[in-house]
Structure 1
Amino acid sequence: MMDRICMFVILLFSILTMSSKSYSQDEFPVLKGPYLGQTPPGLTAKPFAAGIVNTEEWGDAGGFSPDMNEFFVTRWKHSRDAREPESVIFRKAGDQWQKIAVPAEERRPFYAPDGKTLHYGANYKQRTADGWSELKSLGPAFEAIQIMSLAASAKGTLVLDERGSSAGDGILRYSRLVSGKWQDPKPLPKEINTGIWNAHPYIAPDESYLMWDGERESGYGDADLYISFRQKDDSWGEAINLGDKVNTAAEERGAQVTPDGKYLLFNRMVPNANGKAGTQSDLYWIDAQIIEDLRPKE
């Protein structure tokens, strides 16, 4: 009788153990190596860290810190009835990545290439001996603009967008750093500010090119990603569509290049993974060679 009881207890324990393991898919997986342990893409765009960065229930975007040891993920609701999203930071400790929850009110910073300045719209922080300075203002001219995205070059030049109006007149601006002070932002030229919407700019650290998303009649469908290369006379060249390796009939936005210069990250609106009607925003990546392939040959 005792043997039967023991066997029952062992069997029950095994069943409970197996049941608990069936929920292990919700646990954070072991991720080792660069790029959150993901296999890099070639010249075909593919989702970045599916199920880890990209989720079924939220819109997801993100980017690496300049030292490539942190990846900040911003998440947002697809619909009003969705539960509140959880933004997270993936931080590399040794060769392994850890997931850290971020308070809902904390915004994703836009890093300067040297990692010494964090930009938050019209505000910024600078690295100090003890960590980071208090939040500072870029100035009244920046505060007057509803900035969504901002990027900085190694020289300190800023490019920024604005939310625009319901008519979709968002334009891109730039500001140069002169004697330690940012000049009032000025609109970029018509080669870039054309169409009904331009947003989410990215400037190369060496300022050799500028990328952004825009809506133009000549595009593949909804918003497409465009690039303009710096000319010999310091002007910006004609906007070039990144082509069908990146752009589709869907909406592509938020181009950025990994700090090591190897991969292009961007967001694409895709059908909802949970089977519901509508679309969701997933993060994709592709080899940055596509940028060099578009660079005009001298």
Structure 2
Amino acid sequence: MSPRALILAAGIAVALAAPIAARAQTHGELVGPGTISTGLQETSAAVTPDGDTLYFMRSDFAERDDTIMVSHRTGGHWGTPQVAAFSGEWHDSEPALAPDGRWLYFVSNRPVQPGGAPLTTEMGGHRFAGTNLWFVQRQPDGSWGAPVHVDGALNDGAMIYNPSVAANGDIYFSAHRPDSGAAYQIYVARRTAQGYAAPQRVELGDVARNRMDPAIDPRQRFLVYAGNEGDSLGSADLYIVFRQPDGRWGKPLHLPGDVNSPSLENAPALGPRFGELYVSSNRRDEVSFPKPRDNTATLQQRLQQPLNGSRNLWRFDIADVLRAHGIDH
């Protein structure tokens, strides 16, 4: 289990101890039930500008075996996901598309140099698969080119997660770095003519709070992220911060409505439509006892379905929140 997954696992234990939320209590849309959202772990959605292609991560519960998948929507339905052309050999996760869809970023333990050893890292006396940031570029025929390592200080430490790309090329991500405190914080690496500048920590408050998984507005007017600012309903919830007139970030606001639940919410990603937000959550169907008696077949079928406590992909609309803060497109 990765160091990031260890933190999430601790949070999941807290969330599972809370009252189980029934599906009827949320107005979010489960993405591709049984096709994209299954009894495995699905997280980190990345949707193309036309809204018809979805990249995401699928993994085992321990997140030791992460793979990037792709699904295409036809007639309003998501097709059977396939392993993305650039994934399937290494520990690849957390895809993120540039707003124009021409670049796709992801993190991986693949060797920086061909023929080298896979990346590893250490936290708390345990060794894990490390992560560096890579990208693929869209080719004239619509395919993706070969993965390219992103050079620069942002990959120091081999513990970078959940990239998110602004329209000007700035990359936001979460990482454990020397100034992160005990866990994770959010950073930005500004794109310059000479490449990416050294990462700067995004100032969101006391570093004693764990903050992960940024989703940056393409114009950098607001930022959504996962964490616990002291008012989380479960282990980790989603927060939004807005850029102030002086350029600094405002106070983190707990996203209202049904986006958050007593379960774990993380890995937010903005969709191509205004206010569209994709979320990973391990919320589940309500279970009451005595239940209808299972046989072996019904038990296996039920436990392999989505909403079994694994993380699934959800889609929400936060347009009203944005409009309330002066953002209408």
1:126 correspondence with 2:156: no
Matched, 1:90 2:120: no
Cα displacement string for residues 117-163 of structure 1 (whole angstroms, at most 9, x for unaligned residues): 22123222333446544433322412214112100011111101125
**SS in structure 2 of the partner of residue 236 of structure 1:** coil
The residue identity in structure 2 corresponding to 1:234 is G
> What is the distance in 2 between the residues matched to 1:268 and 1:294?
25
- 1:111 partner amino acid: L
Identity of aligned residues (%): 20
The one of 82, 85, 94 aligned to 1:101? 82
Distance (whole Å) between structure 2 residues aligned to residue 220 and residue 96 of structure 1: 32
Contact 1:195 1:217 (C-alpha < 8 Å) held by counterparts: no
Query: Where does residue 53 of structure 1 map in the other structure?
Result: 36
Instruction: Tell me the CA shift for residue 66 of structure 1.
Output: 2.7
Give, in angstroms, the shift of residue 246 of structure 1: 1.5
CA contact (8 A) 1:172 1:187 kept: yes
**Deviations 1:174-202 (CA, angstroms, capped at 9, x unpaired):** 011122622111111134x6443111101
Q: Which runs of structure 2 are paired with 1:127-276 in the superposition (5 Å)?
A: 127-129=138-140, 131-145=143-157, 146-162=159-175, 168-179=182-193, 181-191=195-205, 194-271=207-284, 274=303
Q: Secondary structure at the match of 2:33?
A: coil
State yes or no: 1:73 paired with 2:56.
yes
Q: CA deviation at 1:104?
A: 3.1
1:238 is displaced (CA, Å) by 0.9
| 5+ long unaligned stretches in structure 1 | 1-42
Tell me the TM-score normalized by structure 1. Answer: 0.72
Instruction: Report the CA distance shift for 1:172/1:87 in structure 2 as closer, same or farther (over 3 A).
Output: closer
Uncovered stretches (5+) of structure 2, i.e. residues with no partner: 1-25, 108-132, 286-301
> 2:50 and 2:304 mapped to 1: Cα distance?
37
- Partner in structure 2 of residue 28 of structure 1: none
Larger radius of gyration: 1
Greater shift in the superposed pair: 225-234 or 111-120: 111-120
Q: 1:282 corresponds to which residue?
A: 312
| d(CA) in 1 for partners of 2:197, 2:62 | 39
User: For structure 1, which segment, 112-121 or 128-137, has the greater mean C-alpha deviation from structure 2 after superposition?
Assistant: 128-137
The letter for the 2-side match of 1:274 is L
In structure 1, what is the Cα distance between the partners aligned to 2:51 and 2:243? Answer: 27
Q: 1:48 to 1:164 in 2, by over 3 A?
A: farther
* Matched residues, number: 249
Q: Distance in 2 between matches of 1:114 and 1:180?
A: 22
Give the 3-state SS of the residue equivalent to 2:322 in structure 1.
helix
CA distance in 2, matches of 1:270, 1:213: 15
2-structure distance, mates of 1:281, 1:124: 25
- CA offset at residue 168 of structure 1? 4.9
Letter matched to residue 138 of structure 2: R
Cα distance in structure 1, aligned partners of 2:212 and 2:189: 16
Q: Secondary structure at the match of 1:280?
A: coil
Q: Report how far residue 78 of structure 1 moved.
A: 2.2
Q: Please give the alpha-carbon distance, in whole angstroms, between the structure 2 residues aligned to 1:249 and 1:196.
A: 18
The alignment's TM-score, normalised by the length of structure 2, stands at 0.66
Deviations 1:60-118 (A, max 9, x none): 123312332311232111269x9x78763212468775434216336353211112222
Conservation of the 8 A alpha-carbon contact between 1:64 and 1:259:
yes
Given that residues 67 and 115 in structure 1 are in contact (C-alpha distance below 8 angstroms), is that contact kept between their aligned partners in structure 2? Answer: no
Which residue number in structure 2 is paired with residue 40 of structure 1? Answer: none
Q: Is the 8 A contact 1:255 1:265 kept in 2?
A: yes
Letter of the 1:117 counterpart = W
Q: How far apart in 2 are the matches of 1:253 and 1:152?
A: 17
Q: Secondary structure at the match of 2:54?
A: strand
Task: Name the aligned partner's letter for residue 311 of structure 2.
Answer: S
Secondary structure of the corresponding residue to residue 311 of structure 2: strand
Change (3 A) 1:219 1:95: closer
